[in-house]
């Protein structure tokens, strides 16, 4: 069989460890990708962010996610690199979905693998905290009676205070 | 020289477009481009202190030099996850 580009030796299609995509997210596939090289790992943790039916007293109908895609992918890769600097034994993967998402759908999935659980939990938590700080993605909330763009943090990857805050939360 | 301005989320709504091509006098910085844009669309000004900027899909400062053909992005505070 011809093993063309994008195919793993096992024959299953390769999936990127970092992605911004309009397609539904697949935690099982991402977990398999991370654990493909995991013979030395003793732990895998994962995080799934879901679209919630309420926010700040509003009844949410659905969310639309918008991204500056090339920079979002770059920022996600930067966070993976940061994490590798703090937890060298952990490996991370993250997929963020964009477009219209209904209540209960996954907007983000994160998988962290490491020899021991502490690093996997911490790296996973660090990742989601940093995503909320520096990845150029926005929620457009559609609720009963209107719609609003949600605005959180001013994105600045060089802001060490923000990075330290994410690290403290991850290690709490 | 010619630059492509990218606007996102509420900035895009305020401007009525996510991509705007503009001629700006050289030499220019991101700030030059922003000031031209705010002159045209004053409602954007409220984001001057909270936005992030990028040049060619890489985070940059307002003082960054902009060259002909560059893509300059202005982004409100992010809310992913």
Residue tagged 């002909």 (tokens): B68
pLDDT in tens, chain A (172 residues): 333 344 455 555 679 999 999 999 999 999 999 988 767 899 999 999 999 999 999 999 999 999 999 999 999 999 999 999 999 999 999 999 999 999 999 999 999 999 999 999 999 999 999 999 999 999 999 999 999 999 999 999 999 999 999 999 999 8
List chain B domain ranges. Answer: 2-75
Interaxial angle between packed helices A117-134 and A160-171, expressed in degrees from 0 to 180 and rounded to the nearest 10: 140
Superfamily of B2-75 according to CATH: Beta-grasp domain (3.10.20.30)
What superfamily in CATH does domain A18-171 come from?
Answer: Molybdopterin biosynthesis MoaE subunit (3.90.1170.40)
- Evaluated on CA atoms B74, A70, A120, A91, the torsion sign reads negative
How many inter-chain contacts (A to B, CB under 8 Å) are there? Answer: 92
Nearest chain A residue to B47, by CA: A154
Output the six-digit token pair for A172.
């709490």
Distance between CA atoms of residues A103 and A113, nearest Å: 29
| pTM of the shown model | 0.93
- Chain B residue with minimum CA distance to A133: B78
Predicted complex ipTM: 0.97
pLDDT value at residue A61: 98
Do the chains contact at A136 and B54, CB–CB below 8 Å? Answer: yes
- How far apart CA A78 and CA B15 sit, in angstroms, is 30
Q: Where in chain A are the domains?
A: 18-171
CA-CA distance, A164 to A161, in Å (whole number)?
Answer: 5
Q: Do A138 and B80 touch (CB under 8 A)?
A: yes
Q: Please compute the mean of the pLDDT values over residues B44-56 and round it to a whole number.
A: 98
């Amino acid at each position: 069989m011809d093993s063309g580009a994008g195919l793993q030796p096992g024959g299953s299609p390769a999936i990127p460890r970092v992605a911004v995509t309009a397609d539904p997210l697949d935690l099982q596939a991402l977990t398999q990708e991370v654990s493909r090289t995991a013979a030395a790992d003793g732990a895998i943790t994962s995080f799934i962010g879901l679209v919630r039916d309420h926010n700040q007293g509003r009844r949410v109908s659905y969310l639309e996610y918008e991204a500056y895609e090339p920079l979002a992918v770059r920022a996600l890769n930067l966070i993976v690199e940061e994490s590798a600097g703090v937890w060298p034994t952990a490996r991370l993967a993250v997929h963020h979905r964009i477009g219209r998402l209904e209540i209960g759908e996954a907007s983000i999935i994160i998988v962290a693998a490491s020899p021991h659980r502490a690093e996997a939990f911490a790296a996973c938590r660090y990742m989601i905290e940093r995503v909320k700080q520096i990845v150029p993605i926005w929620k457009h909330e559609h609720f009963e009676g209107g719609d609003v763009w949600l605005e959180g943090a001013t994105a600045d990857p060089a802001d060490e205070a923000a990075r330290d805050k994410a690290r403290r939360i991850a290690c709490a | 020289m010619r630059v492509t301005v990218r606007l996102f989320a509420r900035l895009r709504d305020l401007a009525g477009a996510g991509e705007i091509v503009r001629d700006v006098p050289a030499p220019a910085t991101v700030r030059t481009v922003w000031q031209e844009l705010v002159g045209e669309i004053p409602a954007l000004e409220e984001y001057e202190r909270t936005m992030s900027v990028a040049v060619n899909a890489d985070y940059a400062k307002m003082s960054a030099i902009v060259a002909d053909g560059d893509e300059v992005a202005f982004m409100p505070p992010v809310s992913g996850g």
